[in-house]
Amino acid sequence: ASGDGGNGGGDAGGDNTILVGTTDSVTHLDPAGSYDNGSLTLQTQVFPYLVNTAENSTEVVPDLAETAEFTGPNEYTVTLPEGLKWANGNDLTSSDVKFTFDRQLAIADPNGPSSLLFNLESVEAPDDTTVVFHLKSENDQTFPMVLTSFPGAIVDEESFAADAVTPDEDIVEANAFGGPYSITDYTFNELVELTPNENYQGLHEPAANDGVIINYYAESSNLKLAVQEGEVDVAYRSLSASDVADLSADENLAVHDGPGGEIRYIVFNFNTQPYGASTDEADPAKALAVRQAVASLIDREALSEDVYDGTYTPLYSYVPQGFAGAIEPLKDMYGDGDGGPSAEAAAQFLADAGIETPVPLALQYSPDHYGPSSADEYAMIEQQLEADGLFDVTLAGTEWVQYSDDRVNDVYPAYQLGWFPDYSDADNYLTPFFLQENFLVNHYDDQEVNDLILQQASTPDTAEREALIEQIQTLVAEDLSTVPYLQGAQVAVSAADVEGIVLDASFKLRMASLTR
Amino acid sequence: MSTVTDPAVEIRDLQITFATDGGDVRAVTGISLDVAPGEVLAIVGESGSGKTVTARSILGLLPETARVGGAVILNGTDVVGLSRERLRALRGPDAAMIFQEPMTALNPVYTVGWQISEGLRAHGDVSKKEARARAIEILGKVGIPDPETRIDHYPHQFSGGQKQRIVIAQALALNPSVIIADEPTTALDVTVQAEILDLLRRARSEFGTAIVLITHNMGVVADLADRVAVMYHGDIVETAPVRELFAAPQHEYTQRLLAAVPRLEVADRAYTGDPDAAPVVEAKGLEIEYPGRLGRKPFRAVGGVDFTIRPGEVLGLVGESGSGKTTIGRAMAGLAPVTGGSLRVLGTEMNGMREREFRKARRELGFVFQDPASSFNPMLTLADAIAEPLIVHGEASSPADARDRVDELLEAVQLPKAFGDRFPHELSGGQRQRASLARALALNPQLLIADEPTSALDVSVQARVLELFQELQERFGFACLFITHDLAVVDLLAHRVVVLHRGEIAEQGPTAQVLGDPQDDYTRRLIASLPVPDPVEQAARRAARA
Amino acid sequence: MADTATAAPETAASPAARKGARGGSSLWRYVLIRFLLIFPTIFILVTTVFLMMRVTGDPITAALGGQLTPAQLEERIEAAGYNRPLIVQYLEYIGQIFTGDFGTTIDGQPVVGVLLRYGGATLELAFYALIVAFVVGIPLGMLAAALRDRWGDAVLRVFAILCYATPVFFAGLILKLVFSVWLGVLPSSGRASPRVELQIGRIDNPTGIYTIDAIRTGNPAYLIDVLQHAIMPGIALGLLTAGVFLRLVRTNVIGTLAMPYIDAARSRGVSEYRLVRKHAYKPALIPIITVIGLQIAMLLGGAVLTETTFEWMGLGYQLSEYLKARDYVAVQGIVALLAVIVALTNFIVDIIAAFIDPRVRY
Amino acid sequence: MSKPSIWTRLPIVHQYRQSVGLQRGMLTAGLVICAIFVLAALLAPILAPYSYNQLSDGAGETFTPRQAPSAEHLWGTTIAGYDVFSRVLWGSRTAFLVIIVSVLMSMFLGILLGLISGYIGGWLDRVLVVIADAVYAFPSLLLAIVSAIIISRGQSGLWAGIFATAISITVVFIPQYFRVIRAETVRIKSEAFVEAAQVMGASTWRVMLRHVYRNATRTLPLVFTLNASEAILTLAGLGFLGFGIEPSAAAEWGYDLNRAIEDVTAGRWWTAVFPGVAIVLVVMGITLVGESLNDLADPRLRTRRRAAAATPADAVAATTPAARNEIGETE
Ligand SMILES: Nc1ncnc2c1ncn2[C@@H]1O[C@H](COP(=O)(O)OP(=O)(O)OP(=O)(O)O)[C@@H](O)[C@H]1O
Ligand SMILES: Nc1ncnc2c1ncn2[C@@H]1O[C@H](COP(=O)(O)OP(=O)(O)OP(=O)(O)O)[C@@H](O)[C@H]1O
Ligand SMILES: [Mg+2]
Ligand SMILES: [Mg+2]
């Protein structure tokens, strides 16, 4: 543990200090070295961002910046107010901003988010308050969104190393913070004490509480007991479904929920799935029918309720609900036409394609990466697929690392995946998945979809862009590269008297607004 | 000694039965005995006749599986059925015990002073200081030099003889009226044994303690005992003053026992073979070292030994414990490496020998081990075990194939054929040792190595095995290295004797010469320490020495 | 557990067997050689772990396999140097170790720092567990030996078996169910309440061993809080070892009670109580001490499960997390440390046994 | 050898006949528990009302998860909606298979290595001992985890899971068998009967197999029971940490306990208690048998029958109970 004990021991009993418990973990405090949610949650509290989304909105607005806008197709200009300071008293100028992005690209840490800055050509700081971003492709609508997420946290050039990830202790030691809080006590992945940063000026109000203590837990059941016993005031990410169900019955506690960006889907490998391109009886039409039958048989409602107690909700598209442009094409295209499963529809698809039933299908899931409920989830999916004798499922679980390796090497014909967005934009649910160079590598390749995705990303007009996004969703829903079925909800459980919990599509918990 | 006063111990119709897996074992079948104060009563008898059990019953030290009947009256109290607490009070002041193995009778992690004081403090209020002073005094009395310092030493810092002295001191410290000594000298060398016997004799005269002495060594009996009780199959068959018993044994078993006791008579046995024939074994400057563990210096067990064994000759190898007898025997069989000098066995040089070259010579070599029980694989029948050498050397393809030869061999060692189907544990010690001889002779070897083949056996059994051995040697004419610590046994068998002392040869020559006219000091001491199994002669010798 | 009990006679014999012809200076030579023997053990373990970890996959795939395209992954793996020939990586690693550099974890923590931070926690847990084991195991073991073959003995033995038949995590769950959920008298997880943790972390040079740190704050409330958190993990892990101790002590005391020198002491009228308490106990202790060394390895293994069950942020818990993340460097570092601890404990225990046994002292 | 004696020479029967009093009581209890365990493993398909991965009854009615024990679900249902009673029964089958496979494999390799190492000695022995000690010093559960990952490549099918677990347990146990057999071999090697065989010129293999092997393995029934119980504990530990067998492939107690963590914090005891008690009982049963065999084999620890009739000592003791209760009535 380090940090100056400046504000003494008084705050431990302080009335308005909020205790937050989480099962997330931090990999690195330095934004150049982390690309995960746990780190982001902490970084959001202590680093400034040029732009951000306001509460309950997905629109990008200036945060630290005074203005932020496209000043040319390839140029995004940000101006800073005068006289900004870091918590340690250093000046916060455009030079810090340039430093931040230059070092992200220079370090390109294997575990860092620098890949999100793929479109950034260079950063220029003509004067102390102006920053100009030069972009590779024109009108990149996702760029401002990127600035609100992982690589967007601005760091102090006097405290961070230009060419290496800076150790957490050094950052805390240098008090190199510029967000609503600075860290005054830091025990890696155990305990972090946040104290309001008086030098913070930005979108959000100054901290409404006297400070926050974040306590990291390993097991959700322990977090659950902790919030139940009053050991923490707020439990945020992640309580299991049954824990939430349990806690909601406790009158001393309040359960808060909001939209979640996390989705679950089944990926089909177009080469190795039944009738896939590299199988002996390759037949694209039959292969599609198989996917359609699966899409028709999945009972999302049952999965949502029975496995997840409603903490995950049915998902009928590729872009989850809550994002601009999200529609639900799968709802009426498959199943009973109203979101429910339909064995008749599935049988019809298979019969039309001339497929003999039951279709043997090898289905894979990862028992350890998406929580222990994956096993239950897939046990249920197996049952749903087999219930009417249309499929003969061979279910297997594989430990995550092996799984990651196998799935991109065409080992699994159909398999489970989940996704958590890098930034809050519909694009993040399309580009990584369906562009030709995608991370699924399931051999899905549709020129039209590819072109449309590129087009929407550079369409400045919001309505026009949303229309394109809708079109993409419909097209993919026809091809069924993947079958999405669940969307996570964000849940926080707090003591009944805690206020100011806002869970919105930014998927960030803003601790500055918490009070009790 | 006459019994005018009350006896120190009075045993009346004592019966002891053990519950075992195989049913009840009647170890003692109703015996009666008296020991007068200041008297030394020896109990003799073959192994398992109930000597130890009887002695232990005096102190109430029998295991829970034992059922005791009759009465054991110790200083007027019947020990049988006494409560633990009363028994505890009796143990020590009224009767004390000296055990056979001094090394195991002392707790290794406490100083000897503590252990002596412990007994004192168990009886009455003795302060630590007093107890210590008393312990020092008694240690001095039993002949431990410099008792003031030695009292704080641990048992392992004493020699075997000293340990036995300490055990005796522990017993004497409580000034008991009876000391029960269960084979107090069996684990000791003859020279040390002589000293301990002297000490016991002094304890009796100085403290007036009665002693119940259990032993199978008739020499010890002749040396120390006033009266002898002979036990046989859990019963006392004869009790008599010692001279009477030796002079005129009444019971048939006693007669047999006395007849079986080997005596040093310096028989004249000449080697009748060809003196110029190539020796079977020839050692020149033989050295054997055991490697030191973990980088410590190697330990030299045998250094610079010369001797030969000619065909058909029996060479007796004698010496104290640890003198290197076994080591030489094992080196001859290729079981211990020769590290210096030369040792030729059956034409093979054993220094730097390769097992493969020696394997052929092995059929000419037999080995008889000391402990007949452990030298047989418990999982094989006797026939299988005796057939092993035949199979190994290709004389037979299977135990069944070898059966005829096995039967012959069994006959040669005077065992019934049917014994071939028994497992080793189903035989008595003497029978096992016969079988061991049969196995060693299976291939008609030229050379036999016998490492104390009879020292685990009762005298009467020993006599029979030795007789058999002699007969077989004459019949088959093998050369033999006969290792023993008993000079009388050597006297019985060997053509020549080698006396070993601390890994070196003290003296060697024809048996009659070495035993009859020893030149070396050490040999003389060895012979002088050997108690003669004849009370009259032993008394004379003792008188002469004093 | 049970296997260590069977190993007991073997190890029990060894110090005594080793005494041989050892004199004063050779005892020190023994100590030295015994000490040098630690190194091959550690070397073998580190090498084994190095090779094993490389077979199980790399940390980049583990972290980002569900997010990046294969090309991007490949690039990052390349950048981290994980696709170089094994032998190169191995030599580099061994070289690093020799210079005292244990590397950094994938999340940039110096491994030495991880070891220091979490080592204290595991040490503390092991300490409490050993206390429970000693306090429960040894007296009850002696009692069982004294009551041999009576009902009390049977009950104690069944208790011992029960102790090591119960997996620590099950014991942990049951303790939690009863004391945290139903009775609500003990905290369910963690090493201290967050606020207390914050305070005791504030003292100068915290040791990371909360009990010590809490004492140093001088605030009894903190100490009580820390102790309350330690009760259940200590018991869950300690009972396991207590069962082993109980059985060991019983067997060894009974074995010692059968030695002739006990009979000899009995024949001198020493009371039965003193026989057990004095004459048999100390000789019986020597083999027990040797086995305690072996116990440490098991305790550390059990620590993984206990720490997981009770959120006890120690090395065991970190190890299983790093293992899941395929963080080679971290796993190698932790295993090397565990190996050192186990080897050192065994060494120390052997030496203690050699010194306690007067047969080898001079 | 006559007939009854062959029968009585069989390992467990022989010892059973030897045992008396409480020792027999403990052995009997252990044997009964083991018998129940084996029966449950063999008859699980008949005894269990549902299959290990059954989520709905015959009529297609889905089981309600987290149901308290009821007539329909004797021991309630799990968080995933499985029937606890059925899973516990089927779990015995998995445990049984893992024990058999792992113990057989580790016995074979451990015995072979132990014999060779102990008998041949020299450098080979020293190297093997150092390796075995190193592996032994490794926390066994961690070794099992790493081996499980390597062996099954993360797969979780029934046989893949069983073999992965069994092999990883094997890796952990080989050093133990190795140590036991090696120690026995070293002891037996210096016994006179082995030297007798050497002196008569028997080849190394002949001595090792005919003379050493059969005598060195006499303690194996005991080692077997000890390792069998550890196999169950390791299996459960692996399952608890999430490296075991998935529920759709087979029922496994450790996994079920892992999934019961949430239930415990919610006060739903039945999902944790039943599989947990199953583990404890089976391990206890096997250990009771093992320890009893151990005691019976060790003359110092074996209880012997007291002499039949009441002895005078007993009579006295009966009147002075304090004396009997005094500490340390041994032998
Ligand atoms: N604890 C015991 N349980 C069962 N039987 C026993 C026990 N102790 C002794 N015996 C039996 O009692 C008989 C007498 O034994 P004891 O030890 O007195 O013989 P001994 O004359 O001292 O023989 P040795 O000369 O060999 O010492 C033997 O048959 C022996 O097997
Ligand atoms: N394997 C061994 N390693 C080291 N030293 C040994 C070994 N075997 C024997 N010795 C030592 O060598 C010396 C001679 O032992 P050996 O067994 O030959 O004596 P011995 O004359 O046969 O004695 P005993 O009459 O007691 O049988 C002894 O000091 C003994 O301690
Ligand atoms: Mg005797
Ligand atoms: Mg000898």
Convert the pLDDT of each residue in C263-283 to its tens digit: 888 888 888 888 888 888 888
Cα–Cα distances (Å) from D152 to B73, B151, D162, D168, D245, in that order, read 75, 65, 9, 10, 10
Q: List chains adjacent to chain C, taking adjacency as at least 3 C-beta pairs closer than 8 Å.
A: A, B, D
Tallying the residues shown for chain C, one arrives at: 362
What type of residue sits at position B215? T
- CA–CA separation, A429 and A327 (whole Å): 13
For chain D, give the mean pLDDT: 78
Task: Report whether pLDDT(C58) > 70.
Answer: yes
Query: Contact B310/B271 with Cβ under 8 angstroms?
Result: yes
Q: Do A403 and C65 touch (CB under 8 A)?
A: yes
Which of B52, B215, B216, B461 maximizes ligand 1 atoms within 8 Å of its Cβ, making it the mutation to test the pocket? B52
Tokens linked to A21 = 């418990």
pLDDT value of position D326: 28
* Residue D306 pLDDT class (50, 70, 90 cuts): low
Task: Report whether pLDDT(C5) > 60.
Answer: no
Q: State in Å: Cα B52 to ligand 3 middle.
A: 4
Q: Do A110 and C188 touch (CB under 8 A)?
A: no
Distance from CA of A42 to the nearest CA of C (A): 15
| Shared domain check, B254 and B357 | no
Q: Is C358 on the interface with B (CB under 8 A)?
A: yes
Closest by CA to C166, choosing from B363, D277, B182, is D277
For chain C, give the mean pLDDT: 80
CATH number at residue B331: 3.40.50.300
pLDDT value of position B286: 93
Please state whether at least 3 CB pairs lie below 8 Å between chains B and A.
no
| Shared domain check, B240 and B99 | yes
* Chain D residues in contact with A375 (beta carbon < 8 A): 80, 246-248
Question: Residue range D115-144: average pLDDT?
Answer: 81
| Shared domain check, B343 and B224 | no
Q: Best mutation site among A219, A220, A250, A383 for testing chain D: the one with the most D CBs within 10 Å?
A: A383
Domain count, chain B: 2
| Shared domain check, B232 and B161 | yes
Tokens linked to A45 = 């509290």
Q: Do C264 and B167 touch (CB under 8 A)?
A: yes
What type of residue sits at position A241? A
Which of B327, B328, B371, B526 maximizes ligand 2 atoms within 8 Å of its Cβ, making it the mutation to test the pocket? B327
Query: Contact D229/C161 with Cβ under 8 angstroms?
Result: no
| Nearest ligand, CA B47 | 1
* Residue D9 pLDDT class (50, 70, 90 cuts): low
* Chain D residues in contact with C144 (beta carbon < 8 A): none
Per-residue model confidence as pLDDT tens digits over C63-96 = 777 777 888 888 888 887 888 888 888 888 888 8
Which ligand 2 atom is the nearest neighbour of the CA of B485? 25
pLDDT value of position A352: 93
Residues of chain B with pLDDT under 70: 1-5, 21-22, 292-296, 546
**Ligand 1 contacts CB of residue B65 (under 6 A):** yes
Distance from CA of D58 to the nearest CA of B (A): 57
* Chain B residues in contact with D198 (beta carbon < 8 A): 334-335
Residue nearest to atom 9 of ligand 1 (CA): B53
Closest by CA to A426, choosing from A456, A401, A461, is A456
Chain D residues within 8 Å of chain A (Cβ atoms): 53, 55-56, 60, 62, 65-66, 79-81, 149, 152-157, 242-243, 246-249, 258-259, 261-266
- Checking B75-78 for CB contacts under 8 A at 24+ apart, the result is B75/B8, B75/B177, B76/B6
Q: Do A380 and D55 touch (CB under 8 A)?
A: yes
* Chain C residues in contact with D228 (beta carbon < 8 A): none
Which of B325, B481, B482 maximizes ligand 2 atoms within 8 Å of its Cβ, making it the mutation to test the pocket? B325
3-state secondary structure B17-61: EEEECCEEEEEEEEEEEEECCCCEEEEEECCCCCHHHHHHHHHCC
Domain count, chain D: 1
| Shared domain check, B208 and B288 | no
> Looking up tokens 């009576």, which residue turns up?
C150
* Residue C256 pLDDT class (50, 70, 90 cuts): confident
- CA–CA separation, C44 and C50 (whole Å): 10
**Ligand 1 contacts CB of residue B51 (under 6 A):** yes
* Residue C360 pLDDT class (50, 70, 90 cuts): low
Residue B302 lies in a domain: yes
Give domain C113-325's CATH number out of 3.40.50.1440, 3.40.630.10, 1.10.3720.10, 2.40.33.10.
Answer: 1.10.3720.10
Helical segments of chain D, H only: 3-9, 11-18, 21-47, 84-120, 122-137, 140-152, 158-189, 192-199, 204-206, 214-216, 220-241, 253-259, 261-265, 270-297, 312-319, 321-325
Which of B188, B289, B293, B299 maximizes ligand 2 atoms within 8 Å of its Cβ, making it the mutation to test the pocket? B299
Q: Do C44 and D284 touch (CB under 8 A)?
A: no
| Shared domain check, B158 and B108 | yes
| Nearest ligand, CA B217 | 1
What is the ipTM for the molecules in this complex? Answer: 0.79
| Shared domain check, B288 and B236 | no
Per-residue model confidence as pLDDT tens digits over C171-203 = 999 998 999 888 888 888 888 888 888 888 788
Q: State in Å: Cα D207 to ligand 4 middle.
A: 24
| Shared domain check, B289 and B159 | no
Distance from CA of D143 to the nearest CA of A (A): 17
Which ligand 2 atom is the nearest neighbour of the CA of B329? 18
What domain range includes position B123? 37-65+84-260
- CA–CA separation, D15 and C22 (whole Å): 41
- The more confidently predicted of residues D19 and A291 is A291
CATH number at residue D130: 1.10.3720.10
Q: Best mutation site among A23, A231, A246, A407 for testing chain D: the one with the most D CBs within 10 Å?
A: A246
Task: Report whether pLDDT(D273) > 50.
Answer: yes
Q: Would you say the C-alpha torsion D231, D235, D238, D243 has a positive or negative sign?
A: positive
Which of B289, B326, B330, B504 maximizes ligand 2 atoms within 8 Å of its Cβ, making it the mutation to test the pocket? B326
Name residue C158's beta-bridge partners.
Answer: none
Residue D6 lies in a domain: no
Among C26, C267, C268, the residue with its CB nearest the CB of B296 is C26
Q: What is the mean pLDDT of each run of 10 residues along chain A (516 residues)?
A: 35 70 89 89 94 86 92 93 92 94 89 87 93 92 91 94 90 93 89 92 85 89 87 88 86 89 93 92 94 94 88 92 90 90 93 92 87 86 90 87 84 91 89 87 91 90 92 94 92 92 86 90
**Ligand 1 contacts CB of residue B29 (under 6 A):** no
What domain range includes position D247? 21-296
**Ligand 2 contacts CB of residue B299 (under 6 A):** yes
pTM of this prediction exceeds 0.90:
no
- Edge-to-edge strands, sheet with B227-232: B95-98, B178-182, B210-214, B40-45, B227-232, B235-241
pLDDT value of position A207: 86
Q: Do D308 and B67 touch (CB under 8 A)?
A: yes
| Shared domain check, B314 and B201 | no
Which ligand 1 atom is the nearest neighbour of the CA of B25? 5
Q: Residues 186 to 245 of A: which have CB under 8 A from any C CB? A: 187-191, 193, 213, 215, 217-219, 222, 225-226, 229, 231-232
- Edge-to-edge strands, sheet with A75-79: A67-72, A75-79, A130-135, A120-127
Q: Is A27 on the interface with C (CB under 8 A)?
A: yes
From B260, B292, B320, the end of a domain falls on B260
Q: Best mutation site among C267, C285, C350, C360 for testing chain B: the one with the most B CBs within 10 Å?
A: C267
Query: Contact A100/A153 with Cβ under 8 angstroms?
Result: yes
Name residue A78's beta-bridge partners.
Answer: A68, A131
Among B107, B123, B295, the residue with its CB nearest the CB of C33 is B295
Cα–Cα distances (Å) from B227 to B76, B204, B240, in that order, read 22, 14, 6
Task: Report whether pLDDT(D309) > 70.
Answer: no
Q: State in Å: Cα C84 to ligand 2 middle.
A: 58
Task: Report whether pLDDT(C15) > 70.
Answer: no
**Ligand 1 contacts CB of residue B104 (under 6 A):** no
Query: Contact D166/D94 with Cβ under 8 angstroms?
Result: no
Q: Best mutation site among C161, C188, C322 for testing chain D: the one with the most D CBs within 10 Å?
A: C161
Task: Report whether pLDDT(C123) > 50.
Answer: yes
Residue D16 lies in a domain: no
Per-residue model confidence as pLDDT tens digits over D215-246 = 877 667 767 777 788 888 888 888 888 777 87
User: At C30, which helix (H) or strand (E)?
Assistant: helix C24-36
Q: List chains adjacent to chain A, taking adjacency as at least 3 C-beta pairs closer than 8 Å.
A: C, D
Among B19, B69, B392, the residue with its CB nearest the CB of D202 is B392
User: At D153, which helix (H) or strand (E)?
Assistant: none
Phi/psi for D112 (5° steps) reads -60, -50
Query: Contact B27/B206 with Cβ under 8 angstroms?
Result: no
Task: Report whether pLDDT(D302) > 70.
Answer: no
**Ligand 2 contacts CB of residue B290 (under 6 A):** yes
Fill in the DSSP letter of residue B234.
Answer: T
Residue B12 lies in a domain: no
Residue nearest to atom 18 of ligand 2 (CA): B324
